[in-house]
Amino acid sequence: MAYLEQRGPGFYESSHVSVPYSVQLPGLQPGSEIVVEGKTNDHCKGFSVNFCAGPNMDSDVVFHYNPRLEQGRVVSNDKQRGNWGPEEIDAHVPFQRDQNFEIRFKISQHGYEVIVHNSPVHNFKHRLAIERVSHLFITGDISVKKVQLTTGQSFGYSQYNPYQPQPGVYGGQPQGAAYGSQPQPYGYSQPPQGGYGGQPQPQPYGYGAPPQSGGYGYNPAGQSGGPIVNPPVPFTGAIPGGMYPGKMIFVSGVVNPNAQRFSINLVTGNTENHDFGLHMDVRIAFGSERNVIVRTNKKGGAWGPEERQAPFFPFAPNGNFDVTILAEQNSIKVAANNQHLFEFHLRSPLQEINHVLVMGDVRLTQVRFQ
């Protein structure tokens, strides 16, 4: 039996799977979404996607979605104790033979909304409790390229609607903006006033000189991949296997009581004298700045343009935090306390990054690589 691989908080994926395909699900709830991407065969008679109470259709089937191309209809149903329920039939079949497709199953308190090629096609009301679903079973005349599961707020979830701070809160909507207006997309905020040719701004959080010997808590090999517990700060650790798409870094800690700032950095070497692929500078109370997260890079000793916009600010003095960093081919996605925080589009190759560096007014409880 296959397993979905966790790619981020609440986000699971499996690629290039064989059909019939059975996969255990980590648990569905209202707000969950399953995406199936595939292609119908050139002789496709039909296929089905099944939300089952066991690994196959011998178990109860909580929701059976069955496009029948040969019959020109789509059947939705359930099965309890071996008996099929009343069929719900759609005369329109949104699939063709030898064609790519994407199906989204969005789960609510009322049932399953089926969306094909971004168009809603059916709503199937719950007949059995959603908690009974333990497996997804796919069979028929198709090939499956990808299965994705979002159990809640996660990286890359297209319907993600983050908490919106009140207008005027640093990092939220600007004072005077209409409440509910959309912020600029991550990574496309306007350049800050001053800083580079204007009024001076606080410099990115770097100490400007190599650390003294023994000054860093250092994980020189970092090859075990196990958690590093209660490391001293400043901390630098080698990333086991380096950075590649799908690589994840988990940083947990507690902000110091009188914290001004701290930073989490993805670096091309084991000191801050190297290039920074990502510099995440958390400014809690630094100079005139309050509750802002500055993101930038450093290459050849020069800092790049800053990005500051974020949907919320998750750090507070004496507060615990869990930061999750997810590497993609051309960007880094960061979540805090299981909520998407920002996406930083890389300005240099991902594969150059090989260390994580944490410094500032923070106590680390754990650093883990996956």
Contact yes or no for 341/329 (Cβ under 8 A): no
CATH class of 220-369: mainly beta
Where in the sequence of the chain do the CATH 2.60.120.200 domains occur?
2-150, 220-369
pLDDT at 205: 43
Identify the H or E element spanning 320.
strand 320-327
Q: Which helix (H) or strand (E) holds 113?
A: strand 111-116
Q: Are 68 and 45 in contact (CB under 8 A)?
A: yes
Query: Could you list the pLDDT tens digit for every one of the 370 residues in the chain?
Result: 566 777 776 778 887 788 999 988 877 888 899 999 999 999 999 999 999 998 888 889 999 999 999 999 999 999 999 999 999 999 999 999 999 999 999 999 899 999 999 899 999 999 998 888 989 999 999 999 999 998 754 433 333 222 222 222 222 323 322 222 222 222 222 223 322 233 333 444 433 333 332 333 444 433 335 688 889 999 999 998 889 988 999 999 999 999 999 999 999 998 888 999 999 999 999 888 899 999 999 999 899 999 999 999 999 999 999 999 999 989 999 999 888 999 999 999 999 999 999 999 999 999 999 8
CA atoms within 13 A on the CB side of 189: 24
Name residues whose C-beta falls within 8 Å of residue 34's C-beta, 6 or more positions apart in sequence. Answer: 104, 105, 107, 136, 147, 148, 149, 150
Confidence at residue 209, expressed as pLDDT on a 0 to 100 scale = 31
pLDDT given at position 218: 40
Which alpha helices (DSSP H) does 48-160 contain, by range? none
CATH topology of domain 2-150: Jelly Rolls (2.60.120)
Alpha carbon distance 137, 128 (integer Å): 17
Model-level pTM greater than 0.85? no
Nearest to 336 by CA among 32, 8, 4: 8
Residue whose C-alpha is closest to residue 169's, from 309, 273, 32, 349: 309
pLDDT of residue 234: 92
Q: Is 207 left (phi over 0), alpha (psi -120 to 50) or beta?
A: alpha
Query: Please, are residues 333 and 326 in contact by the beta-carbon 8 Å criterion?
Result: yes
